[in-house]
Amino acid sequence: MRISDLKISISGIRGIVGKSLTPQLLIKFSEAFSSYISGDRIAIATDTRPSGEMVKHAVIAGIQSCGGSPLDLGILPIPSLQIFTSEKKIDGAISITASHNPVQWNALKLIKKGGFFLFPFEAEELLDFYYQGKFRRTGFPKEVKRVDDPFAPHKGKILNFIDLDRIKKRRPKVVIDPCGGAAAPYVKAFLEELGAEVKCINCKIAGDFPRNPEPIPENIQDLCRTVISSGADIGFAQDADADRLAAVDEKGFPLGEEYTLALAACSFLRYKQKSPIVVNLSTSRVMEDIAEKEGVALFRSKVGEINVTRLMIDKKAKFGGEGNGGIIASDIHTCRDSFTGMALLLEFLARSRKSVSELRAELPSYYMVKSKKRASYREGKRILNQIRQEFHGGKLNTQDGLRIEFPDFWFHLRLSNTEPIVRIQVESSLKQTAVEIFDHVSNLISE
Amino acid sequence: MRISVSGIRGEVPHALNVEIVSKLSSAFASYLEEGRIALCRDSRPSSHMFKMASLSSLMAVGVGGDDFGLLPTPFLQFLIARKKYKGGISFSGGHSPYTWNAVLLLDADGAYLEASEGSEVFNIFESADFKKVTWKRLGKVLKKEFPLELYFHELSRLVNLKRIKDSHFKIVADPCNGAFSKYLKYFGDYFNLTLISINDDPSKPFPHLPEPNRKNASQVEAVVRATDSDLGFLLNSDGSRISFVDEKGNGLSEEMTLPLCLLSLNNKIKKAVTTVVSSSLSNWVADKTGISLVRTRVGQSSVVHMMEAENAEAGGEGSGSIALKSFSQGYDALLSLVLILDLLAGEDKKLTDIIQPFPIRHMRKIKVEVPPEKTYRIMDRLEEIYANEKPDFIDGIRIDRDKAWFNIRPSLTEFIIRLTIESEQQEIIRAIEEEIRERILV
């Protein structure tokens, strides 16, 4: 089977520049969005990929073509764009970012009124507009406006939310690695305003990314070393659009994105509010332990930010997230936000008077294996069924692929909507168990 | 929509839209393959949008763009050859209504693309076989300021600047809220003019159709009279066409622009090009001044490339335009204006005095609606009918009679046949019109 690198789906449009992601496609997609949403003010922001300018020009033309009034926010993290959209009552927004994907990729992510991603049924309607070319083109396009300091609404909300005095008193030493991404122009000054002493690595915006943008431990070794060499209290790594966060402890040991979320949850529940929490089906079991200890309910949603935020709204949960380092506090905005994550962790350090490694040590340890295997959608479905038979007796959840939970381990298998792969995730308190189950399951898929 | 050798023109968004502009830009950039091109736009609401679509497409092909923003097309044409750009694009509808627009493709000399080059671009357009480059090789876009000083310096060298400055002309300008509005003041100061400008806000819609002619001149006529000015003028939206109003406040036909320019160029040029539908007043001036006049097909591309082929120093059309080879390869309204100022200053006469000896010529331009499937049969029949009157087939059919001439040519864009009739007597025009209408409608 031939698989295109172009992915047009309910999450937007994604492709490789110079191959599938052409100006013509980008214009058409933006025309569809501008035609679909009600209202005309549409904000646009990019991450720092060199292709951002090419994409942005096409997006602006597409928005203008169908009567939209484009607001060019320049380079801006995606949570800041969502918050700007919500605070300034903008009708919609397009984020130009391929998030954690390598530099040759780019993508459009679509945001509606209130700063939320389109719900799946809305995105499907939009795709109808796109495929059928239902464009409301106008003979009187509107002008483009530029906005000064688009980060201000985001920063303002966090400064009001966090206990600044405590952090300023503690004056933590922080190393930040925004990966030369959308946070780079803002994050150092932001952390300084929180009261930290800040050292920034990969803060320059220059062509290719200085590292793979996904903030997983193997990609953030520079950060770990810098934390040790500069004697910092904590290190933070962001991805290219700054929705995901991973922390490093004072010994230069990466917590992993799962435990970064876990510590942010502890901080929130302890110092902000006892509220139900929502995480996705792939997120570590440590979240259940935290919820139990703090006496709050935990709900699990399908994977994907929009699914977490929708369930948070339904369950009136003030905190949520995803195990990939996506931290959500709805007092700031119901979106994944690395800036909120950093603020919560710094407040945790200040108020607990403990070190990051000590805080981490207070949580039970789990071992997680994440990987993916190539399989067509048909094969994938067959294998999932087979595995389901084999692991009968466990607690079954089929909301999003197959998740089966036993007392000493759980695994989650998902078929991708956009690629011929199965994502596998296994977690156990024992490394050996996790690895054994993982090997067993992935062998079944390989056959 | 009209697809011509040098671009696309049409109503936005039905005929011309971002999708087409983006494809055309990708095709043009793919044709050029690499290098940098210069871009500008007029003041229409769609011009900025088309520029954005185009810049994105250039970048994706790996061609860089120098964006000069709101700028008259002739300014860009002037600069392209001097700064060695590989080409240019202007998003300017010129004389078309406000909600229309055009994408004008310019070659490395700043001239409208020539037919063979244009068709190559449209072949790439149709096949959609655009060049693609990886993220590392994407074209870069830069915002640029137009070097006004260079332009005006070279423009002023074509005339006697001191003589113009010393004349302290008082002039009424109507740039039709178009691209030239932004540069009026610099122009006025440079030539020491008292400029009274109306309709000079490019953010506003056009006050009237952007066709410089007598019909649209009433505002300028009134202001010239009220302010006792020496001259008035009207421009189209990208400053490539101009018509004048005399010191008594009478609007002149746009057909007068070229003959007046030729008169001003007396002794400076030997050969000029115009089209088969331009007024015979140009012949009258050419005879008086010893300029030899060559006629070619209608349109800036034909005229400018014929100038090259014929080694003619100037070229222009009855629509109110002129190009001077030593200056730039495009029609430039400001050039016409400066030539006329030079003429007024040199002769130390009023415009009415200069026009006074001109023979009387009336021109009538008519559109006759015909069903598209009949057009070519009609043209065949007319060809037979006029066979013994020495027809000229440079563009459509042209017949020259004793006291009149006329041209009949099918439109490329509408289901019409265009008639142009010129004579010293209105009755002759009426008679010819009747004659042709009958023959078309048989």
Q: For every one of its 442 residues, what pLDDT tens digit does chain B have, with 9 covering 90 and above?
A: 667 767 899 999 999 999 999 999 999 999 999 999 999 999 999 999 999 999 999 999 999 999 999 999 999 999 999 999 999 999 999 999 999 999 999 999 999 999 899 999 999 999 999 999 999 999 999 999 999 999 999 999 999 999 999 999 999 999 999 999 999 999 999 999 999 999 999 999 999 999 999 999 999 999 999 999 999 999 999 999 999 999 999 999 999 999 999 999 999 999 999 999 999 999 999 999 999 999 999 999 999 999 999 999 999 999 999 999 999 999 999 999 999 999 999 999 999 999 999 999 999 999 999 888 888 899 999 999 999 999 999 999 999 999 999 999 998 767 889 999 999 999 999 999 999 999 987 6
Distance CA A271, CA A290 (A): 14
Sign (positive or negative) of CA dihedral B435, B439, B440, B441: positive
Give the tokens for residue B359.
Answer: 């023979």
For the question of an ipTM over 0.85, the answer is yes
Residue A99 annotated among the catalytic residues of the structure:
yes
pLDDT at A63 over 90: yes
Higher pLDDT, B30 or A10: B30
CB pair distance less than 8 Å for A58 and B23: no
- Counting runs of H as helices and runs of E as strands, what totals does chain A give? 15, 21
Q: What is the pLDDT of residue A416?
A: 81
Verify that B190 and B315 share a domain, yes or no.
Answer: yes
Place of tokens 């962790």: A345
In degrees to the nearest 10, what's the CA dihedral of B341, B346, B350, B354? -100
Verify that B115 and B194 share a domain, yes or no.
Answer: no
Average the pLDDT over A299-324 and give the result.
Answer: 96
Verify that B101 and B205 share a domain, yes or no.
Answer: no
CB pair distance less than 8 Å for A27 and B18: yes
Verify that B208 and B301 share a domain, yes or no.
Answer: yes
Segments forming the whole domain that contains residue B87: 2-146
Distance CA A117, CA A111 (A): 4
Q: pTM of the predicted model, to two decimals?
A: 0.93
Give the tokens for residue A142.
Answer: 């509107």
A289 CA to chain B: closest CA distance, Å? 45
Percent of all residues in chain A with a pLDDT value above 90, rounded to a whole number:
91
Chosen from B49, B96, B129 to mutate, greatest number of chain A CBs within 10 A: B49
Verify that B425 and B287 share a domain, yes or no.
Answer: no
The CATH number of the domain holding residue B403 is 3.30.310.50
Distance CA B170, CA B247 (A): 10
User: Domains of chain A (ranges plus CATH)?
Assistant: 7-150 (3.40.120.10), 153-361 (3.40.120.10), 367-446 (3.30.310.50)
The pLDDT tens digits of the residues spanning A345-374 come to: 999 999 999 999 999 999 999 999 999 999
Nearest CA in chain B to A29: B19
Verify that B334 and B414 share a domain, yes or no.
Answer: no
Verify that B161 and B223 share a domain, yes or no.
Answer: yes
Verify that B196 and B342 share a domain, yes or no.
Answer: yes
Verify that B17 and B111 share a domain, yes or no.
Answer: yes
Average the pLDDT over A63-70 and give the result.
Answer: 97
CB pair distance less than 8 Å for B57 and A19: no
Q: Give B-chain residues touching A28 at CB under 8 angstroms.
A: 19
A241 CA to chain B: closest CA distance, Å? 18
Nearest CA in chain A to B57: A23
CB pair distance less than 8 Å for A24 and B19: yes
Task: Label residue A447 by pLDDT band (50, 70, 90).
Answer: low
Q: Give A-chain residues touching B57 at CB under 8 angstroms.
A: 23-24, 58
A226 CA to chain B: closest CA distance, Å? 30
Q: What is the pLDDT of residue B86?
A: 97
Average the pLDDT over A152-165 and give the result.
Answer: 98
pLDDT at A85 over 70: yes
Verify that B44 and B140 share a domain, yes or no.
Answer: yes
The pLDDT tens digits of the residues spanning A174-222 come to: 999 999 999 999 999 999 999 999 999 999 998 899 999 999 999 999 9
Q: Give A-chain residues touching B141 at CB under 8 angstroms.
A: 53, 57
Count of other CB atoms within 10 angstroms of residue B290: 10
CB pair distance less than 8 Å for B60 and A137: no
Strand segments, DSSP code E, in A63-122 are: 69-75, 92-96, 105-112, 116-117
Picking from B146, B166, B193, the residue at the C-terminal end of a domain is B146
Distance CA A211, CA A201 (A): 11
Give the tokens for residue A147.
Answer: 């906005």
Q: What is the pLDDT of residue B1?
A: 67
Task: Label residue A1 by pLDDT band (50, 70, 90).
Answer: low
Contacts of A247 (CB under 8 A, 6+ apart): A234, A235, A236, A237, A254, A255, A259, A260, A263, A341, A345, A356
The pLDDT tens digits of the residues spanning A220-271 come to: 999 999 999 999 999 999 999 999 999 999 999 999 999 999 999 999 999 9
| Average pLDDT across chain A, whole number | 95
Give the tokens for residue B361.
Answer: 């010529």
The CATH number of the domain holding residue B121 is 3.40.120.10
Domains held by chain B: number: 3
Verify that B159 and B138 share a domain, yes or no.
Answer: no
Contacts of A61 (CB under 8 A, 6+ apart): A27, A30, B18, B21, B22, B49, B50, B52, B53, B56
Distance CA B22, CA B93 (A): 17
Identify the active-site residue in A80, A99, A282, A442. Answer: A99
The 8-class DSSP code of residue B392 comes to B
Verify that B37 and B89 share a domain, yes or no.
Answer: yes
Picking from B318, B337, B355, the residue at the C-terminal end of a domain is B355
Picking from B335, B355, B375, the residue at the C-terminal end of a domain is B355
CB pair distance less than 8 Å for A24 and B59: no
